[in-house]
Amino acid sequence: MRTEHVIWFVVSIIILFVVWKTVEPLITSIIFALTVAYILHPAHTRLAQKIGSRESAIVFSAIMSLLLVGFIFGVALWFRDVTGSLVNYINESLEWFISLDLPPDIAKSATILFERVSEKLSEYLLSYTLSIPKLLLQAIIFIVVFYGILIHSHSLSAELYSLLPEERRDLGIELIEKARDTLNAILRTWLMLSVSKGIILTLGFYVFRVADLSGSIAAGIVCVVLELLPVIGGWLVWLVGAIYLLTQGQIFAGIMFAIYGALLISPGPDITIRPKLVAEGAKMNSALALIGIFGGIMAFGIKGIVIGPVALGLLLTLLEEWKEQKREG
């Protein structure tokens, strides 16, 4: 019997290894498809009640397909300009941050953080923009997984719970709920709002002619990064843009852009929208969320935005369970 168990264990390990090597090149698309499907699932559920689940999934998949096609060719056309502008913005932000005469340790940590984030972002953009066929393949996998998740969300959820072992089933359920709460906190509140602000700032920079299209996109990316940091926010980017317009003699445009930024980027949404989103989602310590996001990016690339915070949330749940066991023991 022991020999049989060893054989089946080895066979299982080999199968898992082969499966992992098969999906590894596509893991980023799969993770982001799961993430976007999770974010849009409430909207899908509401639309499915009116037109049907399959039809709703087709509608959302068609919208995502159009967005992906635009993104793929947009990145291919503007990659060099956007990357150059982004590097300039990051360097200027770093120089400004260091010029604040901060304590040496904080300044050094900030320098390392900016450099690592810039490096990882550049690596990600380079790896996914030099090959249109690779991008199209990733997009196809994204849409297929996205559509499948929306269609089979209820059955997949039931299957996940059915796989939990009977022993310590309560712990398994608690881990699943913690992962869900962390996703709510990170994706449906903090990250979703930050990305929305980045898009709004990009439109503002381009419409008010603060920068060209590539510079506007780069500014939007910087806005998203700054929104993820505590205290510092997207207000810094629109403030720089407004000051630039004013110094160019465009007084009316500068004032209008400042109003635009204050109402739609920061602090307007932070006062009106963010409290409602946080109330609906889970509350997660901002320091842990920050460590999870940036640590995840450094360790796993862009998919670490999801993996890092969820992993920390699960670790906290296990630590709480361990402390509970110690108290009971």
Tens-digit pLDDT profile for residues 267-320? 888 777 766 665 555 455 666 767 777 788 777 777 777 788 778 877 877 777
The per-residue pLDDT for 134 is: 74
Query: Which one, of 149, 185, 146, lies nearest residue 64 by Cα?
Result: 146
User: How confident is residue 204, by pLDDT bands cut at 50, 70 and 90?
Assistant: very high
**Is the pLDDT at 159 greater than 90, yes or no?**
no
**Is the pLDDT at 163 greater than 70, yes or no?**
yes
161, burial (CB in 10 Å: exposed 0-12, middle 13-18, buried 19+):
exposed
* Phi then psi dihedrals of residue 197, to 5 deg: -65, -40
End-to-end CA distance of the chain: give it in Å, rounded.
35
pTM: 0.62
Tens-digit pLDDT profile for residues 100-144? 666 777 667 766 766 666 666 556 555 555 566 777 888 889 999
Task: Write the CB contacts of 271 (distance below 8 Å, at least 6 apart in sequence).
Answer: none
Query: Which one, of 27, 30, 139, 144, lies nearest residue 76 by Cα?
Result: 139
Distance of CA 68 to the CA centre of its chain: 16
Dihedral class, residue 102 (left if φ above 0, else alpha if ψ from -120 to 50, else beta) = beta
Q: Where are the alpha helices (DSSP H) in the chain?
A: 2-23, 27-51, 53-98, 104-129, 132-151, 153-162, 169-185, 192-207, 213-228, 235-247, 251-264, 268-272, 274-280, 286-300, 304-328
**Is the pLDDT at 59 greater than 90, yes or no?**
yes
Task: Write the CB contacts of 214 (distance below 8 Å, at least 6 apart in sequence).
Answer: 78, 81, 82, 84, 85
Tens-digit pLDDT profile for residues 20-32? 888 888 888 888 8
Contact call for residues 42 and 95 (beta carbons, < 8 A): no
DSSP classification of residue 234: T
CA distance 180 to 173: 11
Tally of CB atoms within 10 A around 174: 16
CA distance 278 to 253: 34
User: How confident is residue 262, by pLDDT bands cut at 50, 70 and 90?
Assistant: very high
Q: Copy the structure tokens of residue 156.
A: 């997949």
